[in-house]
Structure 1
Amino acid sequence: MTKKKAVLTVTEDLSNLFERPAQGRAEPKRKAKTVNDRLTVEKALATVMRQMEISGNRQRTIDDYQTYVNHFASKTGIVYVDEITADKIYEWLAGMDVVPQTKLTRLKCLKAFLSRCFDNGWIKTRFWRPITIKVDSRVKEGATERDIKTLLSVLDLGDFVQLRDATAALLMFKTGIRVNTVAHLENKHVDLSEKLLRLDGEIMKNRQDLLLPFDNALARMLEVLMKQNDAIRREYGVDNDLVFITKKGGPVATSPSNNNIQKRLNKYAKKYGLKNINPHALRRGFAKSLLEKGASIVDISKALGHSDLAVTTQYLHMDKEEIAKNLRKYL
């Protein structure tokens, strides 16, 4: 065995950890530059993007604004902000040959841009608010304990890549963190002595610090993985403190849409017939598990890093009847 291959072999014994389950603040308003006293969409968008950057919005969000606002202006032939009307928005939507969910995503970006124009005093009314796209809601399942145990039982924890993937999957299922957070997790965020994730706002979508506990099995896997990471980084001369790395020591994600962990989980799901082994399902599984164990919606919402409770109830697919039933217990 070559030295480089040897560094990918995990010598710690993890065979007894799992068994296969039985079957069965914002920038002040500023006046944007205008052409002949009329504000162009181009100038308005540039100003809004600067405001978003100063406010700390993620680059991906800013890029979405730019893409869809430019698409709207291009398809409708609109040059000035004061030309934007509800009819023009409907015209734009009608011209799209895409599924309703994609239309809704693009509409949300355009609405968000128009809301910022309103806040800056460039538009007098929120005429766009009644415009919506109806999308049939599909209940998305969350991963179960059986799903995660099946995955862990079929993966070879003696192989570095499979150990890394198994640890990432279990981490998402046990703590509910997003796959993008997983990719940016550093050693400083993992407190093995206290069995606690100490997440800072820099790697969180909502920019809020968060503490999340984890169990003994996950602590053991993280300990072994981090030890193996050190050996790989030394072998390839890589300088980083990431918890999840490639077999040559680099980051597992080069962009939000190119994440090696997500790709590997999709591969395992297809190979082993595990439909709920993906980042979203693992995160939903975490939330549903907490709910079943009696955790409050407020605590679950905080753990997931959601902006408000409405998002969490939608995430858990809790309808108004179910909420009323739960509340009746406290009357």
Structure 2
Amino acid sequence: MVHKAVQSFLEYMQIEKSHSSYTIQFYKKDIDEFIHFMKENGIGSFKEVEYLDARLYVTTLYEKKYARTSAARKISSLRSFFKYCLREKLVSENPFLLVIQPKLGVKLPSFLYEEEMEQLFLACDVSTPLGKRNRALLELMYATGIRVSECAEIEDKDIDFDFSTVLVKGKGRKERYIPFGDFAREALLIYIEKGRNELVKQPSAHNRLFVNGRGGPLTPRGIRYILTELMKKASLNGKLHPHMIRHSFATHLLNNGADMRTVQELLGHSHLSSTQVYTHVTKEHLRKTYMNFHPRA
């Protein structure tokens, strides 16, 4: 009964709520961890879970030293799950409804400076098919600010070279068109004509734009690996998280005078508040510039 309820919920989130497979995996992981907690505490079914049990579970998350963001996500996942169970009359109450989530501090997004982005581009060895792919991948991600998961799902037909736009399927399967510039356009054409054709040696069962060394679809994990390797080749300090490309895209647009609403639409943010975090970054950039160059700073 327990596992049947979980499976039903996951299907609901995937089919009716149109969540990505990546998000579904997190829901499953969070619920499975709570089921393990239930077994350890002799709770046999979801009906038996009470508010005090939910409070105790949150306490165990803190004891295991989960980051606030991780703990908040787990609580949110379970709240959504029990809300579904309540709707389906599988439980009589939502024990996580009144559980207080940890307050999250505003974490400024990390980004790369334009000079650092240039070093990444130069790290791509465009004499090889994989190097051509890496250059096209990096150029498109920086040109559009798309998420790794969105990038992995792009198909050949989603690229319109006449208008230099790409159709992106975002969170909740919301679609948006994003323009890209000449650098990305040229890199994509070279990759498609001289790189992808060499990697996909026979008629493929998929239409994904970016492929791995064997010609199969490039996964989000594969994209992360590529970016990490480029970071090493460029001799840049620190670890390159894929979202840093997205953060760099938004930060550089705002630094160069783009308006907030346009950046919000390009990023695919439902709420302006999600985009406003980048104003903190640009303000910090302005402050540092002022302190470095004003004669009376």
TM-score of the superposed pair, with normalisation by structure 1: 0.72
- Following the alignment from structure 1 to structure 2, what is the Cα–Cα distance between the partners of residues 312 and 247? 35
Q: Provide, for residues 227-277 of structure 1, a one-character-per-residue CA deviation record: whole Å limited to 9, x for no partner.
A: 024531563554543321123322221xx4xx2221021122234125474
- Following the alignment from structure 1 to structure 2, what is the Cα–Cα distance between the partners of residues 276 and 66? 28
Name the residue aligned to 1:140: 109
Give the number of aligned pairs: 274
What are the ranges of 5 or more consecutive residues in structure 2 without an aligned counterpart? Answer: 285-297
Q: Provide, for residues 58-106 of structure 1, a one-character-per-residue CA deviation record: whole Å limited to 9, x for no partner.
A: 3333333333223223313333444333321221233342422432332
2:150 maps to a residue whose letter is T
- Following the alignment from structure 1 to structure 2, what is the Cα–Cα distance between the partners of residues 177 and 296? 18
Q: 1:192 aligns with which of 158, 161, 171?
A: 161
Change (3 A) 1:48 1:140: same
Change (3 A) 1:46 1:222: closer
Name the residue aligned to 1:23: none
- Following the alignment from structure 1 to structure 2, what is the Cα–Cα distance between the partners of residues 73 and 248? 39
Name the residue aligned to 1:325: none
Q: Provide, for residues 146-199 of structure 1, a one-character-per-residue CA deviation record: whole Å limited to 9, x for no partner.
A: 121111123322222222112211211110111122222222111112111133
Name the residue aligned to 2:119: 150
- Following the alignment from structure 1 to structure 2, what is the Cα–Cα distance between the partners of residues 172 and 251? 17
In the alignment, is residue 70 of structure 1 matched against residue 26 of structure 2?
Answer: no
Q: 1:311 aligns with which of 260, 266, 274?
A: 274
Higher Cα Rg, which structure: 1
1:37-116 mapped onto 2 (5 Å cutoff): 41-42=2-3, 44-55=5-16, 56-76=18-38, 77-96=42-61, 97-100=64-67, 101-116=69-84
The alpha-carbon deviation at position 143 of structure 1 amounts to 2.3
Change (3 A) 1:46 1:147: same
Change (3 A) 1:317 1:244: same
Secondary structure of the corresponding residue to residue 251 of structure 2: helix
Which is helix-richer, 1 or 2?
2
Name the residue aligned to 1:32: none
Change (3 A) 1:98 1:268: same
TM-score of the superposed pair, with normalisation by structure 2: 0.79
Name the Cα RMSD after superposition: 2.9
Name the residue aligned to 2:174: 208
In the alignment, is residue 179 of structure 1 matched against residue 143 of structure 2?
Answer: no
Change (3 A) 1:62 1:198: closer
Do the aligned partners of 2:111 and 2:247 also contact (CA within 8 Å) in 1? yes
What are the ranges of 5 or more consecutive residues in structure 1 without an aligned counterpart? Answer: 1-39, 323-331
Change (3 A) 1:233 1:167: closer
- Following the alignment from structure 1 to structure 2, what is the Cα–Cα distance between the partners of residues 63 and 247? 26
Q: 1:300 aligns with which of 229, 242, 263?
A: 263
In the alignment, is residue 246 of structure 1 matched against residue 215 of structure 2?
Answer: no
Q: Provide, for residues 116-149 of structure 1, a one-character-per-residue CA deviation record: whole Å limited to 9, x for no partner.
A: 3344564456763442124555423122321211
Name the residue aligned to 2:288: none
Name the residue aligned to 1:288: 251
